[in-house]
């Protein structure tokens, strides 16, 4: 009965429209109905995915200075452009406008998938040198619209307030003529730049994680301080060491400067490519622009490029040839390398554009040392050598002399050198005479006096060696000056100003021994020792010498550095945790000529009393400051000690004073019983 009522109440769903026309639902809107609900409100998630028309032109770029070619060479040009520009993203379309003769007009249009790809192409490939006559000029096409809307009436811009730039050579204005040096410590996490004084260093600036490289580097004239990071290199300078310039070269490992500080060379092994040279990059320091990239190829020695003294030329050795480039065009000099076979090594003169190189013996041809003038490539001197195993080239700092250390083969096996010759070229003398001396023992070290005609050699088999000093006469002859027998040393370091020299033993048995000599009369001024010293370096003025123990080489011991006077007096010691290295800040060449320098030396006694008085006052001031500093440290220590004594007395009183029950019900006495020992004894019946 209930089911019948339900069926009666339900409409007849199976009835046709003709049977019940009045029951049909009406879904039409009234005539005055206004729909105020948007599609975003109803289908917001789907409308967000609706494709939108992009009418911007940000993904299109214009490449100018493209070679002009006819139709028969157009496909070849397109392949070259696609190879260069295709690495920034997929090129959707390209257009090469041509004139009525079918020759391209020298500019093209490229469309990338995204605006970001187009922006990367503009940023990276702008200035790309296809060849000497075609350097790409790339701009987004949107620049045309921007510059076409410029107002026709010119209005002068408002002058901006002048903001003085930092003096990049401010450290040279120090009233006491102190020099700076940089140190790295705490396993490379901390870097500091310090003033050098007679008593202790003064920190100029200290930063954590300033560089990611385990070494420090200044530019050749001390203008910039260099830090290396994963993204590239950065230059810092001025009184506050603000960032002057940065160079984006992913994975930078090594850097080098041109002597004129105009160019920076960076090396990265992670981005080397045969298609686009990026392993070695040369940058303009002032503008930050990339000048040219090179492949690393099989180079195993850094720096790969060697610069001429004025920065006009740089050269590299590869496949037995010397490739000399011009820094103005960054192309090969005369568009070809120096055509000599199997060059082993070369070196630029520090004063003229002379290039010295040596060739090994080939069959019946002897070994040769050649002095070449650049850019004419004219041989100005050549010398044949026989029974040669290897050569090393040493230029004197002023370019007056060139010494070639020649390893001689005196045995039939011809496997290694058993004797040495020093071939000395007097470059300034007429016809460039060559004199030589023979050394019949292993040659340990050789060094020129920077501003003189003397040189020193260390030869012999350790631990006792022989040190000899020679002088080159104006006509080119070599004369012996002095011999020191039974010395313990493997390094010979001249002062940058000459005359003074240090003999030292580094990185070996008895490392850290120092002997200071005055070569004007060949007398020993002093001796010293820095136990386990790994490196020794003169400051740029020749007044001070630093020696240090590097954590990178010696894991145990006292890491830090010592500073000595040029006479061998120890001035101060600075111990630092996990000390890495110390690098002195170079000085630019003096603006005084030789006549002015001679006049200053002639009148030196006139100012000697003034200098001595100033030195005494500075010593007294330094002593007073040191005493005040120590007194303050002692006062702080006494205050700290008294505070700890009071704390200890209070703690002792609290622990020794018995606790009393003041009626506090929270304390209850509790007895705890526990078993200490259990013993079982057997009792026998009598």
Query: Where residue 206 falls among pLDDT bands split at 50, 70, 90?
Result: very high
Q: What is the pLDDT of residue 548?
A: 95
- C-alpha–C-alpha distance, residues 62 and 83, integer Å: 16
- C-alpha–C-alpha distance, residues 441 and 152, integer Å: 83
Q: Which of 75-79, 387-391, 588-592, 654-658 has the lowest mean pLDDT?
A: 654-658
Query: Where residue 160 falls among pLDDT bands split at 50, 70, 90?
Result: confident
CB distance 131 to 138 below 8 Å? no
Q: Answer yes or no: is pLDDT of 21 > 60.
A: no
Q: How far, in Å, are 64, 139, 608 from residue 113 at the CA level? A: 20, 17, 75
**Residue 40 main-chain phi, psi, to 5 deg:** -65, -35
- C-alpha–C-alpha distance, residues 364 and 581, integer Å: 48
221: DSSP letter: T
In the chain, % of residues over pLDDT 70: 88
Residue in 347, 342, 261, 252 with CA at minimum distance from that of residue 305:
347
Q: Which SS3 state, helix, strand or coil, does residue 96 take?
A: coil
Strand partners, 217: 226
pLDDT per position as a tens digit, 335-366: 888 877 788 999 999 999 999 999 998 888 88
Query: Where residue 11 falls among pLDDT bands split at 50, 70, 90?
Result: very low
CB distance 358 to 393 below 8 Å? yes
Residue in 128, 111, 237 with CA at minimum distance from that of residue 172:
237
Residues 296, 299, 300, 305, CA torsion sign: negative
Within 8 A by CB and 6+ apart from 428, the residues are 400
Q: Answer yes or no: is pLDDT of 14 > 50.
A: no
- C-alpha–C-alpha distance, residues 247 and 85, integer Å: 22
Q: Which SS3 state, helix, strand or coil, does residue 641 take?
A: helix
Give the burial class of 64: count Cβ atoms within 10 A of its Cβ; 0-12 exposed, 13-18 middle, 19 or more buried.
middle
185: DSSP letter: E
Q: How far, in Å, are 231, 458, 486 from residue 421 at the CA level? A: 47, 13, 22
Query: Where residue 2 falls among pLDDT bands split at 50, 70, 90?
Result: very low
- C-alpha–C-alpha distance, residues 641 and 631, integer Å: 15
Question: What does the pLDDT average to over 148-169?
Answer: 85
Query: Where residue 15 falls among pLDDT bands split at 50, 70, 90?
Result: very low
Match 């049909």 to its residue by tokens.
Answer: 24
- C-alpha–C-alpha distance, residues 155 and 356, integer Å: 59
Query: Where residue 571 falls among pLDDT bands split at 50, 70, 90?
Result: very high
Alpha helices in 48-180 (DSSP H): 74-85, 115-125, 142-148
Question: What does the pLDDT average to over 519-535?
Answer: 93
In the chain, % of residues over pLDDT 90: 55
Residue in 574, 495, 543, 588 with CA at minimum distance from that of residue 171:
588
Q: Answer yes or no: is pLDDT of 7 > 80.
A: no
Q: Where are the domains of the chain?
A: 60-147
Q: Which of 115-119, 309-313, 572-576, 612-616 has the lowest mean pLDDT?
A: 612-616
Q: Answer yes or no: is pLDDT of 420 > 80.
A: yes
pLDDT per position as a tens digit, 286-307: 999 999 988 887 777 889 999 9
Question: Global pTM?
Answer: 0.71
Match 């002057």 to its residue by tokens.
Answer: 244
Averaged pLDDT of the chain? 86
Q: Answer yes or no: is pLDDT of 184 > 90.
A: yes
Higher pLDDT residue, 390 or 628? Answer: 390
Strand partners, 226: 217, 235
Residues 533, 538, 543, 544, CA torsion sign: negative
User: Domain 60-147 adopts which CATH fold?
Assistant: Alpha-Beta Plaits (3.30.70)
pLDDT per position as a tens digit, 439-473: 988 899 999 999 899 999 999 987 889 999 999 99
Higher pLDDT residue, 416 or 320? Answer: 320
- C-alpha–C-alpha distance, residues 379 and 212, integer Å: 45
Q: Which of 81-95, 523-537, 631-645, 665-679 has the lowest mean pLDDT?
A: 665-679
């Amino acid at each position: 009965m209930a089911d019948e009522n339900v069926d009666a109440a339900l409409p007849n769903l199976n009835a046709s429209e003709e049977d019940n026309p009045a029951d049909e639902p009406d879904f039409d809107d009234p005539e005055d109905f206004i729909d105020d609900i948007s599609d975003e409100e109803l289908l917001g998630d789907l409308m967000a995915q609706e494709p939108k028309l992009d009418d911007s032109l940000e993904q299109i770029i214009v490449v100018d200075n493209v070679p002009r070619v006819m139709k028969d060479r157009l496909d070849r040009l397109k392949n070259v452009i696609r190879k260069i520009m295709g690495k920034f993203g997929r090129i959707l379309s390209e257009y090469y406008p041509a004139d009525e003769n079918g020759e391209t007009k020298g500019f093209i249009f490229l469309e990338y998938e995204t605006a970001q790809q187009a922006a990367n192409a503009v940023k990276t490939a702008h200035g790309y040198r296809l060849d000497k006559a075609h350097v790409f000029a790339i701009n987004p096409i949107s620049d045309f619209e921007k510059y076409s809307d410029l107002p026709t009436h010119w209005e002068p811009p408002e002058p901006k307030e002048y903001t003085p730039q930092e003096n990049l050579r401010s450290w040279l204005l120090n009233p006491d003529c102190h020099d700076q040096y940089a140190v790295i410590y705490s396993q490379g996490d901390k870097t500091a730049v310090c003033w050098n004084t007679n008593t202790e260093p003064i920190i100029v600036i200290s930063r954590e994680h300033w560089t990611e490289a385990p070494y420090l580097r200044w530019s050749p004239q001390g203008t910039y301080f260099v830090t290396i990071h994963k993204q590239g290199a950065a230059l810092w300078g001025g009184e506050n060491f603000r960032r002057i310039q940065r160079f984006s070269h992913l994975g930078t490992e090594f850097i080098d400067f041109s002597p004129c500080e105009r160019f920076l060379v960076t090396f990265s092994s992670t981005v080397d490519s045969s298609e686009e040279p990026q392993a070695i990059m040369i940058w303009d320091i002032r503008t930050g622009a990339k000048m040219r990239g090179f492949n690393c190829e099989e180079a195993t020695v850094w720096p790969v490029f060697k610069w001429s003294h004025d920065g006009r030329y740089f050269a590299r050795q590869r496949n037995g040839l010397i490739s000399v480039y011009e820094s103005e065009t960054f192309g090969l000099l005369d568009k070809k390398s120096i055509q000599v076979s199997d060059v082993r090594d070369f070196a630029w003169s520090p004063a003229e554009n002379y290039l010295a190189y040596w060739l090994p013996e080939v069959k019946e041809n002897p070994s040769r040392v050649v002095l070449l003038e650049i850019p004419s490539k004219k041989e100005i001197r050549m010398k044949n050598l026989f029974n040669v195993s290897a050569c090393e080239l040493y230029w004197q700092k002023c370019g007056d002399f060139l010494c070639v250390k020649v390893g001689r083969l005196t045995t039939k096996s011809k496997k290694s050198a058993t004797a040495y010759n020093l071939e000395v070229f007097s470059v300034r003398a007429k016809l460039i005479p060559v004199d030589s001396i023979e050394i019949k023992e292993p040659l340990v070290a050789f060094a020129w006096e920077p501003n003189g005609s003397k040189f020193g050699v260390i030869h012999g088999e350790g631990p006792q060696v022989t040190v000899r000093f020679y002088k080159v006469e104006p006509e080119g002859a070599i004369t012996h000056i002095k011999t020191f027998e039974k010395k313990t040393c493997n390094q010979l370091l001249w002062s940058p100003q000459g005359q003074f020299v240090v003999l030292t033993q580094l990185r070996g048995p008895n490392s850290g021994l120092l002997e200071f000599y005055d070569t004007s009369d060949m007398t020993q001024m002093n001796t010293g020792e820095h136990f386990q010293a790994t490196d020794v370096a003169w400051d740029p003025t020749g007044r001070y010498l630093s020696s240090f123990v590097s954590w990178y080489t010696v894991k145990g011991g006292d890491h830090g550095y010592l500073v000595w006077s040029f006479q061998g007096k120890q001035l101060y010691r600075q111990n630092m945790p996990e000390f890495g290295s110390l690098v002195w800040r170079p000085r630019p060449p003096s603006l005084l000529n030789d006549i002015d320098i001679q006049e200053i030396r002639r009148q030196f006694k006139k100012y000697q009393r003034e200098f001595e008085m100033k030195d005494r006052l500075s010593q007294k001031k330094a002593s007073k400051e040191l005493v005040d500093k120590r007194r303050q440290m002692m006062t702080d220590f006494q205050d700290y000690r008294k505070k700890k004594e009071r704390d200890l007395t209070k703690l002792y009183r609290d622990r020794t004073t018995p606790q009393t029950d003041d009626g506090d019900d929270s304390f209850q006495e509790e007895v705890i019983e526990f078993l200490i020992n259990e013993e079982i004894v057997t009792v026998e019946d009598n």
